[in-house]
């Protein structure tokens, strides 16, 4: 099946647009795309007529152009007829927003969609989903524009069974400065499933990282997904719900999925070098780090800080996550001490962590980072930057980014995320270096680099 027309459509038909209810999901989708997206959009309602001065077509077959993507937002019992119309009209694919299928026990109704689509080689997402957000082409999320926060364009594709979880992640992506290529809510995933989207985004030139929120798989489906993800040349991140008995019950009632044995699934992810996110925070951290770096690390960290307390916390966090922050040799400490200004040579600590103290200036951090970047015993730098140190300027993030571009050793930074320090933070973000809002989050980012291994 060719999925490209679904994610980069030139034309969109919204089936179910109401002539009387402005807040109907179909109307929200029509208005968003008509006013804010590049796609050419057509309204469809069996009654015909006009909506906001635009013609409403009684059937998709009457739309004057070939439709790349159809959004179906009608009562569940009418969806098979609507999909049949889409197939006969030669549409490229569909998003079925409507609920009321296998998740409420109406498996036969859902099976009729599957049978029809397979016979016609017709791809569709859903039912019981909010569909696709693929900027700047299309947005089928039935949430009014004024109520949703959207990330900047970027390189992460996000696939979620849950529409609500997808929207939560979009908000977090925006807050953390993580760029998005595409977001997809797959709901009951009657036809197109995680493995299909994995294969699509693996070939998508606009995507570098693929992240999944998974509730459950069908029989033997989880193994096939993991094996395909292990062969994928791009990092694959998985956040799995249904870890407990109660969670498994909730998964089944939500999207009619089998949650499966979480412990087994988690072990298999690790075995094949996929990055498992234990919670939403780890998901965001992994997406940010892996969208910046594609090369795995062993986890030998060098901690560079202006505060001894912050350095000690970072080392504890590294060790608790299975990474190393080994003490430096006497010779290495001596050489490192020569890189910084004389005024701090007698008060700084050059072990690991490297504490340059509150008297350090930009040049001290830059020279120390350059020296550590050239050491074979270090494969990632953890930079704990406190903008309130009197000798540090807002240029430090950009200057340290330059060190990365010249030396190639991955860096993860911690900077308190408040407006006052935004210029320092932007110095990293504009150069695509990950910058965290807490020490723990920074260590999570580094850990995701260690856990990403090619099978």
Closest C-alpha among 435, 433, 366 to residue 395: 366
Residue 136 falls inside a structural domain: no
- The pair of structure tokens assigned to 314 is 């970072």
Ramachandran bin of 299, using left for φ above 0, alpha for ψ from -120 to 50, beta for the remaining angles: left
pLDDT digits (tens, 9 = 90+) for 168-227: 999 999 988 899 999 999 999 999 999 999 999 999 999 999 999 999 888 888 889 999
- What's the rounded mean pLDDT across residues 269-274? 86
Output the pLDDT for position 260: 56
Domain edge (last residue) among 68, 97, 127:
127
Distance CA 454, CA 275 (A): 11
Residue 117 falls inside a structural domain: yes
Domain edge (last residue) among 243, 272, 292:
292
- Determine contact, residues 315/327, Cβ cutoff 8 Å: no
Residues 6+ apart with CB under 8 A from 364: 340, 341, 344, 348, 356, 391
Number of domains in the chain: 3
Task: Determine phi and psi for 223, rounding to 5 degrees.
Answer: -65, -45
Residues 303 and 163 in one domain: no
Q: Is the pLDDT assigned to residue 386 strictly greater than 70?
A: yes
Neighbours of 386 (CB within 10 A): 16
- What's the rounded mean pLDDT across residues 227-254? 72
What confidence category does residue 284 fall into, taking pLDDT thresholds of 50, 70 and 90? very high
Q: Is the pLDDT assigned to residue 247 strictly greater than 80?
A: no
What's the whole-number average pLDDT of the chain? Answer: 92
Q: Is the pLDDT assigned to residue 250 strictly greater than 70?
A: no
Residues 199 and 258 in one domain: yes
Output the pLDDT for position 313: 97
Domain edge (last residue) among 267, 292, 317:
292
Residues 440 and 410 in one domain: yes
Residue 115 falls inside a structural domain: yes
> What's the CATH code of the domain at 316?
3.40.50.261
What confidence category does residue 264 fall into, taking pLDDT thresholds of 50, 70 and 90? confident
Range of the domain at 14: 1-127
Neighbours of 444 (CB within 10 A): 25
Residues 180 and 108 in one domain: no
Output the pLDDT for position 124: 98
Q: Is the pLDDT assigned to residue 249 strictly greater than 90?
A: no
Ramachandran bin of 100, using left for φ above 0, alpha for ψ from -120 to 50, beta for the remaining angles: left
Residues 303 and 439 in one domain: yes
Residues 305 and 426 in one domain: yes
* Consecutive H or E run containing 36: helix 25-36
- The pair of structure tokens assigned to 263 is 């412990």
Residues 6+ apart with CB under 8 A from 342: none
CA distances from 52 to 31, 47, 55, 69, 453 (A): 9, 15, 8, 22, 53
Q: Is the pLDDT assigned to residue 328 strictly greater than 60?
A: yes
Residues 288 and 156 in one domain: yes
Distance CA 203, CA 220 (A): 24
Output the pLDDT for position 421: 87
Residues 100 and 116 in one domain: yes
What confidence category does residue 243 fall into, taking pLDDT thresholds of 50, 70 and 90? low
- What's the rounded mean pLDDT across residues 1-12? 96
Per mean pLDDT, which range of 33-42, 251-260, 387-396 is the poorest? 251-260
What confidence category does residue 296 fall into, taking pLDDT thresholds of 50, 70 and 90? confident
Residues 285 and 342 in one domain: no
pLDDT digits (tens, 9 = 90+) for 403-413: 999 999 999 99
């Amino acid at each position: 099946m060719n999925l490209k027309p679904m994610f980069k459509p030139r034309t969109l038909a919204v089936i179910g647009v109401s002539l009387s209810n402005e807040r109907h999901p179909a109307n929200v989708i029509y208005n968003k795309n008509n006013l804010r997206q590049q796609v050419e959009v057509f309204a469809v309602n069996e009654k015909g007529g006009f909506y906001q001065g635009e013609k409403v077509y009684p059937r998709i077959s009457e739309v004057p152009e070939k439709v790349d993507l159809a959004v179906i937002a009608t009562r569940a019992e009418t969806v098979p007829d609507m999909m049949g119309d889409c197939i006969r009209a030669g549409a490229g694919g569909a998003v079925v927003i409507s609920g009321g299928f296998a998740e409420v026990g109406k498996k036969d109704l859902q099976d009729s969609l599957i049978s029809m689509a397979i016979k016609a080689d017709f791809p569709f997402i859903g039912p019981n989903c909010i569909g696709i957000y693929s900027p700047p082409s299309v947005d089928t999320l039935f949430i009014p524009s004024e109520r949703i926060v959207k990330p900047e364009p970027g390189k992460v594709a996000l696939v979620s069974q849950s529409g609500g979880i997808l929207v939560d992640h979009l908000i977090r992506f925006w807050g953390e400065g993580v760029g998005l290529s595409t977001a997809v809510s797959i709901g009951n995933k009657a036809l197109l499933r995680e493995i299909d989207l994995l294969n699509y985004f693996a070939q998508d030139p606009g995507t570098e990282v693929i992240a999944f929120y998974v509730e459950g798989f069908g029989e033997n489906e989880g193994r096939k997904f993991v094996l395909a993800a292990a062969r994928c040349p791009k990092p694959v991140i998985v956040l799995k719900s249904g870890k407990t008995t109660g969670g498994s019950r909730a998964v089944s009632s939500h999207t009619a999925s089998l949650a499966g044995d979480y412990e087994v699934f988690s072990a298999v992810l690790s075995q094949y070098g996929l990055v498992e996110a234990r919670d939403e925070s780890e998901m965001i951290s992994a997406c940010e780090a892996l969208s910046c770096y594609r090369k795995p690390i062993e986890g030998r960290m060098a901690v560079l800080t202006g505060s001894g307390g912050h350095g000690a916390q970072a080392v504890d966090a590294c060790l608790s996550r299975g990474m190393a922050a080994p003490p430096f040799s006497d010779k290495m400490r001596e050489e490192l001490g020569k890189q910084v200004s004389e005024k701090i040579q007698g008060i700084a600590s050059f072990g690991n962590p490297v504490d340059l103290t509150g008297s350090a200036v930009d040049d001290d951090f830059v020279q120390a980072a350059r020296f550590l970047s050239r050491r074979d015993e270090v494969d990632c730098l953890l930079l704990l930057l406190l903008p309130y140190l009197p000798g540090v300027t807002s240029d430090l993030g950009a200057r340290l980014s330059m060190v990365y571009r010249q030396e190639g050793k991955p860096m993860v930074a911690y900077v308190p995320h408040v407006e006052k320090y935004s210029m320092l933070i932007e110095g990293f973000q504009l150069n695509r270096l990950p910058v965290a809002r807490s020490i723990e989050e920074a260590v999570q980012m580094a850990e995701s680099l260690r856990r990403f291994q090619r099978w």
